[in-house]
Structure formats: C-alpha cells, structure tokens
Structure 1
Amino acid sequence: MSEDIKTRAINYLNCTLGDMHEGEQLNFVCLDTTCKEMGLICPVCRSQKHAKHKVIPLKIFLADISNNVNGKQNQNSIDQLLTQIDQVRTKLLSSLKDTVQKMVLQIKLLEDQINLSHKNTRQRLLEQNQTQMNFPQIFQQILNSQYKNVDQLKQDVRKIIDNVSQLQAGKIEIDFKPQRLFDQYQKASQEAIAQFNHLLTQFKQSTSKISKPIEKFTQPLQAQNSPNFTFSTVLKSPSITITEQKNAHQTANQNSENRFILIEPQILESCKIAIKITHLTNFIGIGIAYKNVLSLKNMKFDHQNLGHGSYMISSNAHTWSHSKKEENMVQKSFTFTTGDIIIVDVSLENKTLKFTCKNKPNDTQAIVLTFDNPDNDDIHFCINMCSSGEKVEILDDWE
C-alpha cells in the first residue's frame, strides 16, 4: 500500500483562505497537537502560521500512516479495547463507591457524637438547675446529719462541688451559671460548623483534582474542537475590511453608522473566543450580537436605546446591553487598549457572557453580563469599531 502511494500522483486541492493563499495546493500536514489549525495546509499557511510546528508533506504522511496501519491490523482489536475501557470505568466507580461508603460511616459516627453531646449538655443544664433549687435543702440536711445513705451524700456533695468556684485563694463560692455552660457548648458548635465549611472547601478542591485527568474525556465530542471562527465577509459594515479571515480593520471614522462586524459561524453551544486589540484609536466594543437585529439596522450602533442588538464591553470601560437598562451604557467594566487580549466566554445554558483580559489577569476583574434568548435570531460574536485605523485579530492559539 505504501509503495503504491509513493508512486501515485496526488491531485491536491487548493487552499481556500484566499489572498496570498490563492492557487496554493494543500500538500502539507501540520502535526502539532497544540495547533488549532492542525491538519492540511498550503506552503503559505506553513510559512505564516506553522513555521515552528512539525510539518511534513501529505504524501509522506499517507505513506507512513499506511505502513503503520498495515503493521498493526491484528493488534488490540476494537472489541478488546471496548472491554478494557468498560473495566476501567467499573474500577473507577467501585473506588468512588467505596470512598463514599467510608465517608458515610464517618459522618454517621459524627452525627451520633453531635446527638450525644446535645443530650449530655442538656442533662447537665437540667441537673445544674435542679441542684441550684435544692441546694438550701441539701445544705440543711448535711448540717443536721439527716443523710443515712453514704452514696447519696457523696453524690449530692459532688453536685455542689460542680457548682462552686475558688476565684479567691482559700475562699469557696457558689457559682451557678447555666448560661456559661450553654455559651461553651455554643462556641464548640460554631467551631465545628467552621470546620465543616473548611472540609467542604477541601472536598471540592480534592474532587476537582480527581476529575482533572479525565476532564477532557467528559466533554461532548464536538465541544472538544472549538469552531474555526472567522470574520464574516457579508455580515459587516462596508467600511470594515478583512485580511486572511482573522483580521478586521475599520477604514473610516464613524458616529453610529457602519461600526459592526460579526464573526462566523453562529454560536450554537457554549464556547470561547479570544480577540487581540491590534490597534485602538478611540473605541472598540467586543461581545455578542443578534444577526437579524443588526442586519435590519444596517449594522448601526443604536446604543442609547434598548433593543440595539448587542451585549458588549468596550475599551472605555462601559458595558452595553440589548435588554437590560442597568447594564447598557454604564461604566462598570475594565479598560483595554492596543496589545490586550480579551477572552469572551459564552454560556448558553446560563445565558451569561464572561469577559477577561488574558494578558492582564492581575489588573482586571472578570465582567459578567446576562443576555436573553433571541426570538428567531442567530447569536454571533461581534466587534464594534468606531474610528479609522482600529484593528482586531481573532486568535486561534491563545490558551
């Protein structure tokens, strides 16, 4: 098979990125696992974005793979692997169940101890109160030698001793203070509750560490590969130009008109995007937008009224909301400028947008906006650029 590949002429397809890539053949393969554009590339792709990656000709790649596949056809059949992965899961679940059972036993012991401490403290409070009430009678019975039962006498004297103090040397005083006993019990309980909260935090941290090694296997298959986001050549203001699908450039000064460009594909699941501010002149906004709303407005930024179609933060530390007055045109975000990298994290489940500045994690605090379900509309990442010369770039390799 590999010999057949070596002697066969391959009809390579052309790169679709356009510009300098126009007419270049997809005859190389990037094998760098950290590269988000890993796979087929052309010579221009190789020079621009894959110069430091492991790249080999497609023909050599196919020949090597053919040799490898033919040599391992009889090794580790899929049935054996499926059996083994089932065994691994069983072992994991068994360990988890065993751990939970041991935790339950410890919790039951602790529960019994809490109940017993409550019972004993309650009994001590009642006994202390009873002793206080009976003390004059006990005192008189001792003075008048009325006790006939030695054990009872010892027991009553012990009750008295439990309620006396010797704060002054050589002087014994009665010290009936049930409130002090209650305060001691309450203090011990509060310390225990604090320990519960501390243990809960430690438990969450431990489970996070346990799940970390297998976390990537818990994600849906399609979620493991982020969409290849590119600037739309259609859903944009005419004054904004695009180069190499990842760079957008505002070529004219704008007031409210001609300021938006949307990013494709539309957002269909929770995901992130990284936008680098290549050049800031005056105002750049970053966030999400409703395609139909902005299309009907011809990409106009109708920012003073709700219903403008976008949820964003902007370089002047403002937030913008399509539906919430308290989050629209309000200074509650962080500032960003040329060279900054803004991460936008969309959660469709929680209807939240989280903004962070990757290269200034200690100087900025994450900003979270909420958004509503659009009515028969598509959600896209968006950029809003106000002044001539402003530029942004979609980053693929940023994590």
Structure 2
Amino acid sequence: MSEDIKSRVMNYFNCPLGDIHEGEQLNFVCLEANCKEMGLICPVCRTQKHSKHKVIPLKIFLADIYTNINAKQNQNSLDSLLVQLDQSRLKMLSSLKDIVQKMVLQIKLLEEQINLSYKNTKQRLQEQNQTQMNFPLLFQQILNTQYKNVELLKQDVRKIIDNVSQLQPGKIEIDFKPQKLFDSYQKAVNILQLSFQSQEAVNQLQMLFTSFKQSTQKIVKPIEKFTLPVVSHNQINFIFSQTLKSATINVQDLKIATQQVQQNTENRFILIEPSIQDSSKIAFKIVNLTNFIGLGIGLKNVLQTKNMRFDQQSIGHGSYMASSNDLVFSHHKQEENMISKSFPFATGDIVILDVNFENQIIKFKNKNSQNEPISLTFDIPENDEIVFCVNMGSVGEKVEILDDWD
C-alpha cells in the first residue's frame, strides 16, 4: 500500500493565498513543531516561510504514515490501552485517598495531643497554686510533727520539693513560678503555629498539582494547534484575583484594580487568573498613574511566599516587568534587573503584553506610542506557575484589564 501511494496520481488543491501563490499546488507538508502554519503548503510557501523547516512531499508523508501505522497496529489494542489508562487513574485516586486518610489521622492525633497538653498544664498550674496557698500550713504541720500518716507526710514533702530549686550549692529556694509553666506551654504552641503558617504540606500539594497539570498540558497542546481557531486577541478571560493580591489593593468588577494605600515595598502586587499555560496576550489600560506602576508576569509561588512584597534590589524577586518610570525588572538576570529600556507609559495609555512560551520572551508595547516594543527573557520553573501581574506603589493608582484593545 505504501508503494501504491507513492505511485498514485493525486489531485492536489491549489494554494488559497493567491498572488504569487496562484495556481501552485498544496503538495508539501511542513512538520516543524513550532511553526504556526504547519501543515499543507505549496512550493512558494515553502520558499517564503518554510525554507528552514522540516518539509516533505505530501505523498511521502502519507506513505510513511501508512507504513508506520501498519507496523504498530498489533503492538497495543485500543481496548488494552484504555484499560491501562483507567487502572492508572484509579491507582492515583487510591493513593490520594490513602494520603488524605493518613493526614486526617495525624491531624486527629495532633488535636488529641493539643488537648492533653492543655489539660496537663492547667492541672499543673492549679496544683502549684494550691501548694503555694497551703505551704505555710504544711510547713507548720511538718515542723510540729502533726502527721500521723507517714505516707501523707511523704506526699506533702514531695509537693514542696516540686516547687523549690537549688540555684546555689546548699541553698534551697522556693520556686513558685506558674509563669514558667505557661511559657513552656506557649513555646510549644508557637512552634506549632509557625508550622501551620508555613503551610508546607499545602505548598507541596500545590506544587504537585502544578507539575501534574503541566505534564498533562503537553498532551493537550498538539490537539489545540489543529482545533483552536487563529485569533488576533487572546480568548482567555483574564481577571484580577480576589485572593492572590495585597490586602491594600481593591478589585472592582474583576477587571479593575486600585491601590488604596501609599506603599514602599510592601503590599504592591496583584496577580491575574488563570495562570498562563501557553503563549498569551493581555492589554492593560492605565486608568490613573501617580508614581509607579509595573506590568508584567510573575512566579505565583515566589510572590505568595514573599506576601506580595517587591524586593526589586536583587534577582529572585519573582517578577519580569516594565514600569512607568522607564525601568525593567528580571527575576533571574541581573543584567536585566532595574535597568532603563526606554519604555515609559502614563495615564490613559494602553500597554499590550505578548508572552511567547516557546522562546521564553515577553514583549511590551505601548499602543499609544510610536516607540518600538521592548522585550525581556524569562525562565519557566518546573515547580511554579507563571501569571500576569500588576505592581502599584501609590494611593489611587488604577489599572484595568481590557478584553478588546483595537
């Protein structure tokens, strides 16, 4: 069949591009993975746009595909693969359920330990207080040998010993200090609260989810290239996050963000949802600029860990931005961090951000300016998500996400 395909006379469609392409037949296939126009092309297309791409004649493409499919037909039946796929899903869900059950058990044990520690500390404080109140009476009873039961005497002496100390050799001192008991308990509580606040388990789960989502995204992307229509604007409905933001930034109608308090480095960022999974565009309108607005992309986990703080002085701050005062900022390149790239914008301007995931470049264009766009390179970490972000430093500064910017 493969040889039959190669020898067959085929009726090719003509290239629809017209002009110099007029009458040329679509008899080649571009296989370049990063080519936005991969697929059927004519000889003129091949010369103009695909000269450095992987291009083969359509006949050879069909013959090779047929041979390849025929050779692999008996390797795995679809039914067998679907069974294995279902088993993998059930195995993952079962593992997840086991982890949740173990976490619930540990939380239950921790809850019981917290209550037991509280109960013991409370009882110890009450006993110490009662001993302190009864100490003069116990002292007189022992001194006057009023005890008739030696075991009771031993118990009372033991109570006294529990509340004395020997700070200096040969010198016994009363050590009724209930505050020390409470301080010991509070120290344990503080350690536990810090563990809660770190949310290490939650962060690890988020990282695992991100990693899994990114891995499965590779399965979806090849399909999207052939099923999604080509559009001039990104169709993703980007919105300002109601939770992934500084507390001083107010969100209105999901599309408008306003800084309500004058800031230095604290409380500067608001992130935009959803996360960026592929090359995307977004446009911001500068509704009001007082002093400083930064626009760009950020590393979600890094900015969350920093509590939306803007540590712009050194790399590792979690963002790639261009700002209204002509500066650009880079998370991973010192030579692109806090340097001038001549890209000012002001109140009323529309700034378009174009993120290219394949080349790892973000371009900034001021729609209201004749200046050329500027660009920054960025890094895509395996354990984080990339999001669009806005950084506002002064009270009253306001930015709007535009759905259409023509």
TM class by shorter chain equals 0.5 to 0.7
Greater shift, 104-113 or 212-221, is seen at 212-221
Match of 1:204 in 2: 205
Greater shift, 141-150 or 217-226, is seen at 217-226
Equivalent residue in structure 1 for 2:376, among 329, 353, 359: 359
1:24 and 1:44 in contact (8 A); partners too:
yes
- Using the TM superposition, give the Cα deviation of residue 86 of structure 1 relative to its aligned residue in structure 2, in angstroms: 1.1
Distance 1:161 1:10 in 2: 105
Match of 2:180 in 1: 180
Match of 2:193 in 1: 193
Check 1:140–1:46 CA distance in 2 against 1; reply closer, same or farther (3 A cut). farther
Distance 2:90 2:137 in 1: 70
Greater shift, 69-78 or 191-200, is seen at 69-78
Match of 1:245 in 2: none
- Using the TM superposition, give the Cα deviation of residue 197 of structure 1 relative to its aligned residue in structure 2, in angstroms: 3.2
TM-score after normalising by structure 2: 0.57
- Using the TM superposition, give the Cα deviation of residue 205 of structure 1 relative to its aligned residue in structure 2, in angstroms: 5.3
Deviations 1:286-314 (A, max 9, x none): xxx9xxxxxxxxxxxxxxxxxxxxx845x
Distance 2:117 2:221 in 1: 49
Match of 2:349 in 1: none
Match of 2:354 in 1: 343
SS in 1 for 2:33: coil
Match of 1:247 in 2: none
Matches of residues 160-309 of structure 1 in structure 2 within 5 Å? 160-198=160-198, 199-200=200-201, 202-204=203-205, 207-208=208-209, 211-212=212-213, 214-216=215-217, 229=230, 264-265=231-232, 267-270=234-237
Matches of residues 22-37 of structure 1 in structure 2 within 5 Å? 24-37=24-37
SS in 1 for 2:376: coil
- Using the TM superposition, give the Cα deviation of residue 26 of structure 1 relative to its aligned residue in structure 2, in angstroms: 2.9
Match of 1:130 in 2: 130
Check 1:46–1:220 CA distance in 2 against 1; reply closer, same or farther (3 A cut). closer
Check 1:9–1:195 CA distance in 2 against 1; reply closer, same or farther (3 A cut). same
Read off the aligned partner of 1:343 and give its amino acid letter: D
- Using the TM superposition, give the Cα deviation of residue 331 of structure 1 relative to its aligned residue in structure 2, in angstroms: 4.5
2:28 and 2:42 in contact (8 A); partners too:
yes
Match of 1:114 in 2: 114
Check 1:69–1:220 CA distance in 2 against 1; reply closer, same or farther (3 A cut). closer
Distance 1:77 1:156 in 2: 83
Distance 1:151 1:139 in 2: 16
- Using the TM superposition, give the Cα deviation of residue 48 of structure 1 relative to its aligned residue in structure 2, in angstroms: 5.2
Deviations 1:310-333 (A, max 9, x none): x845xxxxxx25xxx44x697412
Deviations 1:13-64 (A, max 9, x none): 3445567656544322232334444322344544455444432211100111
Check 1:220–1:40 CA distance in 2 against 1; reply closer, same or farther (3 A cut). closer
1:227 and 1:265 in contact (8 A); partners too:
no
SS in 2 for 1:359: strand
- Using the TM superposition, give the Cα deviation of residue 360 of structure 1 relative to its aligned residue in structure 2, in angstroms: 4.6
Distance 2:353 2:157 in 1: 77
Distance 1:270 1:218 in 2: 22
Match of 2:305 in 1: none
Greater shift, 144-153 or 214-223, is seen at 214-223
Identity of aligned residues (%): 57
Greater shift, 159-168 or 66-75, is seen at 66-75
1:2 and 1:64 in contact (8 A); partners too:
yes
SS in 2 for 1:269: coil
Read off the aligned partner of 1:138 and give its amino acid letter: L
Check 1:211–1:360 CA distance in 2 against 1; reply closer, same or farther (3 A cut). closer
Read off the aligned partner of 2:158 and give its amino acid letter: R
- Using the TM superposition, give the Cα deviation of residue 79 of structure 1 relative to its aligned residue in structure 2, in angstroms: 2.5
Distance 1:109 1:216 in 2: 38
1:267 and 1:381 in contact (8 A); partners too:
no
Check 1:223–1:65 CA distance in 2 against 1; reply closer, same or farther (3 A cut). closer
Distance 1:18 1:2 in 2: 33
Structure 1 runs not aligned, ≥5 long: 230-263, 272-288, 290-310, 314-319, 346-353, 373-378, 383-399
TM-score after normalising by structure 1: 0.58
Match of 1:332 in 2: 293
Match of 2:261 in 1: none
Distance 1:22 1:381 in 2: 34
Q: In the alignment, is residue 156 of structure 1 matched against residue 117 of structure 2? A: no
Distance 1:159 1:102 in 2: 42
- Using the TM superposition, give the Cα deviation of residue 117 of structure 1 relative to its aligned residue in structure 2, in angstroms: 1.0
Distance 1:28 1:149 in 2: 108
Distance 2:123 2:133 in 1: 15
Distance 2:168 2:23 in 1: 102
SS in 2 for 1:108: helix
Match of 1:147 in 2: 147
Matches of residues 29-108 of structure 1 in structure 2 within 5 Å? 29-47=29-47, 49-108=49-108
